[in-house]
């Protein structure tokens, strides 16, 4: 009798084809000749790069080619996205969470006040955001607490936000296919989910309790989004947990898998480096600024269509420096606690921001780099 996987089918059933340690060895063994070969292949534009090609570009052997990679990444970005920078703003609706992620400020065991916004408070947040700047792209974020912030609550939140924003994305707990599909009918355009790490064994160490402890349920969530017809899917890992090179190689493999199976969907990637949180957790791995530059350039050369996003986790000068080198969307004016725009709440933040500039200041920086800030890329007329 065939055994049924309780967490569904998807990339989690394929990831074990790739050995973690062998992936690291492959990156470490890259030579400058390998890098030249991959860059020459990318320059022709005739053949899509493979995840193995991408691994060459994130290696130390690629460091001497950083200037060449920057020029190629910039050209690829201009061809696909023009001289634009898309802007979005996150709105945290709840910091309640049933998970016990050891690195997160929302950890269930952290003894802090938990807040879940009422619909009236959500409306007040929308109005306060609109006073900050003409944002039309909003990212709705909550802790993973299905009893409080499940599909029913999120559907109502989307209903409140829809008159204010034409492009709505959520970053919440992974859900069933039919629930994603239900939310698309309520105006949902995109879903962001960070796998945190693709290391199957280490994953349990960081997520000991709660629904998030189920590696396969989370990883196959991207397949459920694709089956539900979600317009845009965002991927990412939390850099600071395991070897970033192996995690990013796995993410590149995951992206190619999703593009093959759900080719109508748009994709975005984010490279969040761990920031201080109420948990006090210290990262195991540090990704330097230069390594993050190399990673960003490599990903743009690897895929010219993917949206590369930088959040306010990164410092102003660093974000400004990457504006013309592959990054295509940024958050601005972020508050990471529920109710942070309409009031000054005493609520738990998920992490500290590094770029605390106002949206107007971010817009000025974008224009100073010869780019056009874009607040809107979707209109209700196309719904």
Residue range 242-254: mean pLDDT, rounded = 98
Does 278 have pLDDT greater than 70?
Answer: no
Three-state DSSP state, 224: helix
CB 66 within 8 A of CB 40: no
How confident is the model at residue 110, as a pLDDT? Answer: 60
- Burial class (CB within 10 angstroms; exposed 0-12, middle 13-18, buried 19+) of 269: buried
- In this prediction, residue 347 carries a pLDDT of 53
* Geometric angle at alpha carbon 280, from 204 and 236, rounded to 5°: 50
Query: Closest Cα partner for 257 from 8, 6, 11, 3?
Result: 11
**Measured distance CA(136)–CA(382) in Å, rounded:** 14
Say which residues have a Cβ less than 8 Å from residue 25's Cβ, sequence separation at least 6: none
> What is the maximal distance between C-alpha atoms in the chain?
64
Where is pLDDT greater, at 281 or 12?
Answer: 12
Confidence band for 354, pLDDT divided at 50, 70 and 90:
confident
Structure tokens at 220: 């196959």
Q: Cα separations (Å) of 342 from 92, 148, 222, 276?
A: 12, 21, 33, 24
| pLDDT the model gives residue 232 | 98
What does the pLDDT look like over 129-184, one tens digit per residue? 999 999 999 999 998 899 999 999 999 999 999 999 999 999 999 999 999 999 99
Rg (CA), the chain: 20
- pLDDT tens digits for range 175-225: 999 999 999 999 999 999 999 999 999 999 999 888 899 999 999 999 999
Note the pLDDT of residue 1.
Answer: 37
Read off φ and ψ for residue 130, nearest 5 degrees.
-65, -25
* pLDDT confidence of residue 111: 60
Tokens of 104: 């997160």
Q: Please determine, for residue 379, whether its predicted confidence score (pLDDT) is greater than 50.
A: yes
DSSP-assigned states of every residue in 32-55: HHHHHHHHHHHHH-SSPPPHHHHH
Cα distance between residue 49 and residue 325, in whole Å: 19
Q: Which domains does the chain have, with CATH numbers?
A: 11-377 (3.20.20.70)
Q: Is the pLDDT of residue 108 over 70?
A: no
Contacts of residue 148, Cβ cutoff 8 Å, sequence gap at least 6: 94, 96, 116
Type and span of the H or E element at 222: helix 221-227
In 10 A of CB 118, how many CB atoms?
Answer: 12
Mean per-residue pLDDT, 78-84: 95
Distances (CA, A) of 207 to 23, 92, 339: 23, 22, 27
In this predicted structure, the answer to whether residue 83 has a pLDDT above a threshold of 50 is yes
Q: Does position 99 have pLDDT exceeding 60, yes or no?
A: yes
DSSP sequence for 114-165: --B--HHHHHHHHHHHHHH----EEEEEE-S-HHHHSHHHHHHHHHHHTTT-
């Amino acid at each position: 009798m065939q055994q049924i996987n309780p967490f569904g089918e998807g990339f989690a059933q394929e990831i074990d084809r790739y050995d973690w340690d062998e992936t690291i060895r492959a990156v470490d063994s890259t030579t400058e000749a390998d890098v030249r070969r991959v860059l020459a292949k990318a320059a022709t534009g005739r053949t899509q790069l493979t995840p193995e090609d991408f691994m060459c570009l994130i290696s130390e052997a690629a460091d001497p080619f950083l200037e060449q990679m920057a020029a190629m990444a910039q050209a690829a970005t201009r061809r696909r996205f023009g001289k634009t920078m898309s802007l979005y703003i996150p709105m945290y609706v709840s910091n309640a969470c049933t998970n016990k992620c050891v690195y997160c400020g929302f950890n269930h065991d952290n003894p802090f006040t938990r807040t879940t916004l009422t619909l009236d408070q959500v409306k007040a947040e929308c109005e306060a955001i609109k006073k900050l700047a003409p944002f039309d792209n909003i990212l709705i974020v909550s802790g993973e607490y299905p009893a409080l912030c499940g599909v029913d609550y999120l559907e109502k939140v989307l209903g409140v936000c829809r008159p204010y924003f034409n492009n709505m994305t959520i970053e919440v707990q992974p859900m069933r296919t039919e629930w994603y599909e239900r939310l698309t009918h309520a105006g949902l355009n995109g879903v962001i989910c960070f796998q945190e790490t693709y290391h199957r064994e280490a994953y349990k160490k960081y997520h000991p309790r709660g629904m998030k402890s189920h590696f396969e349920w989370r990883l196959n969530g991207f397949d459920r989004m694709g089956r539900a017809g979600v317009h845009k899917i965002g991927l990412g890992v939390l850099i600071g947990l395991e070897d970033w090179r192996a995690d990013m190689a796995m993410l590149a493999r995951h992206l190619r898998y999703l593009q093959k199976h759900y080719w109508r969907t748009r994709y975005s990637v984010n490279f969040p480096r761990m920031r201080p949180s109420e948990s006090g957790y210290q990262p195991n791995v540090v990704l330097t600024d230069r390594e993050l530059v190399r990673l960003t350039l490599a990903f743009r050369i690897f895929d010219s269509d993917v949206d590369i996003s930088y959040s306010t986790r990164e410092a102003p000068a660093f974000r400004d420096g990457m504006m013309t080198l592959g990054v295509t969307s940024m958050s601005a004016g972020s508050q990471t606690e529920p109710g942070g725009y309409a009031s000054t709440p005493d609520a738990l933040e998920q992490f500290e921001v590094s770029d605390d500039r106002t949206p107007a200041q971010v817009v000025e920086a974008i224009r100073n780099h010869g780019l056009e800030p874009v607040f809107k890329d979707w209109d209700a007329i196309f719904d």
